[in-house]
Amino acid sequence: GAGVSQSPSNKVTEKGKDVELRCDPISGHTALYWYRQSLGQGLEFLIYFQGNSAPDKSGLPSDRFSAERTGGSVSTLTIQRTQQEDSAVYLCASSFGIETQYFGPGTRLLVL
Amino acid sequence: SQQGEEDPQALSIQEGENATMNCSYKTSINNLQWYRQNSGRGLVHLILIRSNEREKHSGRLRVTLDTSKKSSSLLITASRAADTASYFCATVRSGYSTLTFGKGTMLLVSP
């Protein structure tokens, strides 16, 4: 079946602009995760959705970052007023329970 | 924050040789997972080992887990050039659902 998909693959934006990153998880997976990978910080957890529960936002680095998951499926990660330090690869993953997490190909964000 | 620490940071071997990567972590875990990443993009899941398991095999991969030492190892036997990638260990801490990653080991397999 189809894996996790993310769009866009690459995004170049100017400092101060808002960006939206999209994730389509594997059908039937109840959990969805966003991670960020940057040179300085490695792979970091950002936010986690499980079913209809309130999301775990403990990894979001600032209030400029937000995410939503509509209908228990597609998720959008929004970064407002982007800064150069937001440049990274943003990875989405989904899973059934706390077992194996399946990752998408990522969105490479470059803030100029 | 990074929980896992992989060792070595980089490993260079010849095709046919075995590659061993180690991972240490700090807290009690539910499970530990190994991932491979090519060219800085998507992570490919390799193997999951639960806290009550000590060893697991999958093809040319062998993973061990020592919860008393809070460490794990990944062995790739008979390596191939296509195994060249970065390898990450990640833990699901007890009571949590998210992955905490180590910094990774860069493996280079030369023909």
Residues with Cβ within 8 Å of residue A112, at least 6 apart in sequence: A12, A13, A14, A15, A84
What is residue B41's three-state secondary structure? coil
pLDDT in tens, B95-110: 888 889 988 999 999 9
pLDDT recorded at residue A1: 55
Question: What gap in Å lies between CA A73 and CA A28, rounded to an integer?
Answer: 8
When pLDDT is averaged across residues A93-104 and rounded to a whole number, the result is: 88
When pLDDT is averaged across residues A3-24 and rounded to a whole number, the result is: 97
Partner A contacted by B43 (CB < 8 A): yes
Answer yes or no: is pLDDT of B19 > 70: yes
Answer yes or no: is pLDDT of A41 > 90: no
A33 to chain B: closest CA residue: B98
Angle B11-B55-B96 from CA coordinates, rounded to 5°: 90
Partner B contacted by A56 (CB < 8 A): yes
Max Cα–Cα distance, chain B, nearest Å: 44
Report CA Rg, chain B.
Answer: 13
Question: What gap in Å lies between CA B18 and CA B27, rounded to an integer?
Answer: 29
Q: pLDDT tier at B4 (50, 70, 90 boundaries)?
A: low
A91, A36 Cβ separation under 8 angstroms: yes
Contacts of B31 in chain A (CB under 8 A): 98-99
Question: What gap in Å lies between CA A31 and CA A52, rounded to an integer?
Answer: 10
pLDDT recorded at residue B2: 42
C-alpha distances (whole Å) from A44 to each of A71, B35, B103 are: 25, 14, 10
Question: Two tokens at B24?
Answer: 């240490």
When pLDDT is averaged across residues A1-21 and rounded to a whole number, the result is: 94
* Best residue in A45, A87, A94, A95 for a mutation probing chain B (most B CBs within 10 Å): A45
Cα–Cα nearest to B74, from B91, B84, B87, B86: B87
A6 to chain B: closest CA residue: B42
Number of H helices, E strands in chain A: 0, 10
Contacts of B30 in chain A (CB under 8 A): 98
Of B33, B97, B104, the CB nearest to A48: B97
